Structure 1
Amino acid sequence: MDTSQQKDLFDIPEDICYLNTASLSPSFKAVEQAGIDAVLQKSRPYLIPSSDFFDPVIELKKRFAELIQLDEFERVASIPSVSYGIATVANNIELNAGDTVVLMQEQFPSNYYSWKKLTDTYKAHLKIVQAPKTTSNRAKLWNEAILEAIDDSTAVVAMGNIHWSSGALFDLKAIREKTRMHDALLIIDGSQSVGALPFSVKEIQPDALICAGYKWLFGPYGCGYAYYGPYFDGGEPLEENWTNRLDSHKLPDLTRYQHEYKPLANRYVMGESGSFIHVNMQLEALKQVLLWTPEAVQNYCRGISVKAVEELRNLGCYIEADDYRSHHLFGLELPESINIKAFKKALSDQQIFVSFRGNYVRLSCHFFNTEKDFERFLNCLKSVIN
């Protein structure tokens, strides 16, 4: 793949330095056009066949299944958000008093509030695994602490593949082995990893994987994906909509009410999952994500950021050890001498877009970025230090 040509897929002005895909990805030109075409299609609904409610959604599930190395595409459900997917999971779990649900420190809210409500309901406990205070081998020690936190009281471990602010990489394979030892469920939020970091359902075998679609999967805001494993095959969906029932494709027979749900994850799809605008854009996005491959994304991002990471560390910034973090997304803790207000103003003045999350300045890059983007960020930081 010629990475020099990938920037042409986007419409980002040369004077913009966008290191913020982890917040919201820019659309490819092809995704933008797919959305426009779909809007125009809605203007002539008599040209939309009834099969468009179903066939494009099936194709979408197949593409996402391919991305996560999943053989059964019907274990994929289209959802509107991570909170919807996590709420579906929590809705189908019963706890015993005294059980624990293990979470990471400062987990994204969509993967926290449902667990807080669930543990409160059953008089169970949240066990929050804190990141070690040290700046030496922090992510390695954090992984060890997570493994130690999983014991006979553990009912669920819910976490990301990486930490959404720091980029700390979690050893899901080892964590999955430990959860099996204690009959605990493993629920993964892949929003900040799937599409940019290799992930295999075959290898990890999580009980559920929930992903926002508007970040590293380059879909429109308001779309997402969920994989539900065998534990959830007979569960209750959050809503009763016409498309998650058996034989719903037979439109003339819809009022012959059907008590059976469609098999596997199809029972969990959101209402109006066949949204013409969203699905057309998502299909175009996943087509390109699959062509890129997550491995290529990691390699490219590592290559364009390696010099900047070294210099940032020399300036006194803390970044997780390279072997224990992702390269498409990483956070840096600034030296205490930095005036954060002045730094934010300088970034804004120079049209450099990053995220401030907790104690971290989060940088996230993709194929439309180059080394020059990191040089601009570095020079901006140096101007504040000086």
Structure 2
Amino acid sequence: MGEEYVSDDFTACVRREFPALAHKAYLDTACIGVAPLRAVRAVTDLAQGMQYCPAESGTAMHGRLNELRAQARPLAARLIGAEASDIALTESATHGLKIALESLPLRAGDQVLIPDLEFIQMGVMWQQLKDRGITVRTVPHDEAGRIGVDAVRAELTRDVKVVALSSVQWTNGYRADLAALSELCRRRDIWLVVDAAQHLGALPLNVRRTPVDILVCGGHKWLCSPFGTGFLYLDPAARPRLRRPLAGFFAAEPPARTWGEAFLRPDLTPLQDYEFSEDAYAWETGGTGNYPGAVGLSAALSLLLELRPQRVEAHLRTLTDYLTEGLDRLRLTVVSPRDPRHRSGIITFTTGRPSADAALMGSLLAAGVAVSVRFTSGVGGVRVSCHLYNTLRDLDALLEATEDWQRRPRRNGRPTGHPQPRRSAAAQVVRQRALIDALDDDLMGLITARDGVSRGIRRSRFEGAMSRTDLAREREVVERFHHRLGQNGTRLALELLRMCRGDT
């Protein structure tokens, strides 16, 4: 059985931020990550604040929301060693890739290379350029499921203008040699477009040391952002050569200090020449943004930066080493690369038959171990995603459930019977108590926020020479709680009113 090995501060921070995973083996981050407590609270606080519009006007509130959204750019920049001016915020990796495709100066006859192991979205989007006369070709993987630099080089012709790939492949977790690919593309004046959705948050990447022209990343996987978010990196040297996409007015420079001030000018008209920044945010949609998603992304990025990408990578290296050794003991075939230079947080293994892989996945899910099965171009199997919140105990749970599946009697090659639940009732209680603790934290935060609003009301009533307490309003509060919760609601409302009366 695995022992804990990471530093106390790392472990304490992770346990605090992911209380619901204390006794849950969630090993499916490559599909969707788990949001940390700080990200959930950031979204909740923003949504609750919108009930009151704390700014003095809607215009001021809109400006404040744009400022909150913009705070995600410098955090994303720090994660990859870029500048905030190089970052555009997107809804997803797909959104970022769409902007990239529309911005690249490609012409009829140009060719694009993508690995044949790519995530389906990569092929779907690039293939839509064929009506512009642009051809997409695939680089074949080798027998070990790798896409090496030599394989890319062998496919290069004078018509290849773009090499587009995921820095970590989604089925087997193969980590590309981006440094070598970057050098190859720059020598040949080829655009390098990188999808880092399966990379960032799990592994470090610095675009100063490993230059890429365009990088896209979704927030809902390894970055652990709770809503549809992501970002797009545009190399400052590449931006002058890119087409600027159609965008709304927030992507343009306001003809005053702010757009709110511009709206006050009587000479403002819809048809006039607008200046656009040279910064990457000019490639954003330029309309009302996904503000809850942005504050959630900012909070999630702050956690990753606090834990430090190098420490997260070391944690994942220990987990994947341990898992690989355990799979070897069970005589299962590890599909993912063993070379540390090409390994990621994804370890994929197979029983040797896709149908059996799917059956094993079902058995693992029934045992409370979340994994996926993924295949592309014949490469894949049971995909295990090890992230910062996982422990060796999670991997023990997976290995034990897999061994139990192997031992079950078979009929026509298929296991019979049902897997036994892995957790005892006591363990289930502990897990559920962790959820209660998280909910209690939220309740205490809401009570504190309610008290703050109540203080503001009392202050306003005092300044307006009104009575300190509005009994009619308090009756409304009690009645609303009683209607939803009965007598318990009445008692709860009275206690809340007592707690929030306080002293002005």
Q: What is the TM-score with the length of structure 1 in the denominator?
A: 0.91
Correspondence 1:136-215 to 2 at 5 A: 138-139=145-146, 142-215=148-221
Partner residue of 2:75 out of 63, 83, 94: 63
For the residues of structure 2 that align with 1:84 and 1:327, how far apart are their CA atoms? 24
Letter in 2 for 1:247: P
The residue type paired with residue 137 of structure 2 is: K
Per the alignment, in what secondary structure is the counterpart of residue 104 of structure 2?
A: coil
CA distance in 2, matches of 1:337, 1:49: 53
SS of 1:280's partner is: helix
Within-5 A mapping of 1:263-282: 263-272=278-287, 274-282=289-297
User: Does the 8 A contact of 2:253 with 2:276 survive in 1?
Assistant: yes
Given that 2:114 and 2:164 are in contact with CA atoms closer than 8 Å, whether structure 1 keeps it comes out as yes
Query: Structure 1 residue aligned with 2:121, among 96, 100, 110?
Result: 110
User: Which residue is equivalent to 2:66?
Assistant: 54
Give the distance between the partners of 2:74 and 2:332, measured in 1 at CA: 46
- The correspondence for 1:217, drawn from 212, 223, 227, is 223
Determine the C-alpha separation between the residues in 1 that align with 2:107 and 2:269: 39
Equivalences for residues 343-358 of structure 1 within 5 A = 343-358=360-375
| TM-fit CA distance, 1:38 | 0.7
Q: Which moved more, 1:211-220 or 1:47-56?
A: 47-56
374, 377, 385: which is aligned to 2:395? 374
Q: Deviations over 1:181-223 (max 9, x none)?
A: 2211000101111122111111122110100011121212211
Offset of residue 338 of structure 1: 7.4
Higher helix share: 2
Which letter does structure 2 place at the counterpart of 1:242? F
* Structure 2 Cα separation of the partners of residues 299 and 149 of structure 1: 35
1:284 aligns with 2:299: yes
Distance 1:342 1:333 in 2: 11
3-state secondary structure, aligned to 1:307: helix
Mean Cα deviation higher: 369-378 or 52-61: 52-61
- Give the superposition deviation at 1:99: 2.6
Distance 1:240 1:178, change over 3 A: same
**2:349 aligned with 1:328:** no
Distance in 1, matches of 2:305 and 2:76, equals 9
What is the RMSD computed on CA atoms of the aligned residues? 2.2
Aligned equivalent of 1:232: 239
- 2:43 matched to which residue of 1? 35
Gaps of 5+ in 2: 1-6, 408-504
SS at match of 2:324: helix
**Aligned AA (1:326):** R
Amino acid at match of 2:402: L
> Which of 109, 122, 125 is the equivalent residue of 2:135?
125
Q: Is it true that 1:383 corresponds to 2:412 in the alignment?
A: no
Preserved CA contact (<8 Å) 1:80 1:270:
no
Q: Is the 8 A contact 2:333 2:349 kept in 1?
A: yes
- SS of structure 1 residue aligned to 2:328: helix
Distance 2:358 2:79 in 1: 40
Letter in 2 for 1:317: T
Structure possessing the higher relative contact order (Cα contacts under 8 Å, 6 or more residues apart): 1
1:25 matched residue in structure 2: 33
| 8 Å Cα contact 2:360-2:402 kept in structure 1 | yes
Larger Rg: 2
**Conserved? CA contact 1:39–1:277, under 8 Å:** yes
- Higher alpha-carbon deviation: 186-195 or 376-385: 376-385
Unaligned runs of 5+ in 1: none
Is contact 1:104–1:130 with CA below 8 Å preserved after alignment?
yes
2-structure distance, mates of 1:341, 1:25: 21
- 1:245 corresponds in structure 2 to 252
- Report if aligned partners of 2:114, 2:165 keep a CA contact under 8 Å in 1: yes
Whole-angstrom distance in 1 between the partners of 2:344 and 2:97: 26
Q: CA deviation at 1:40?
A: 0.4
Q: Confirm whether residue 91 of structure 1 aligns to residue 108 of structure 2.
A: no
* Aligned pairs, number: 380
CA contact under 8 A between 1:17 and 1:373: conserved in structure 2?
Answer: yes
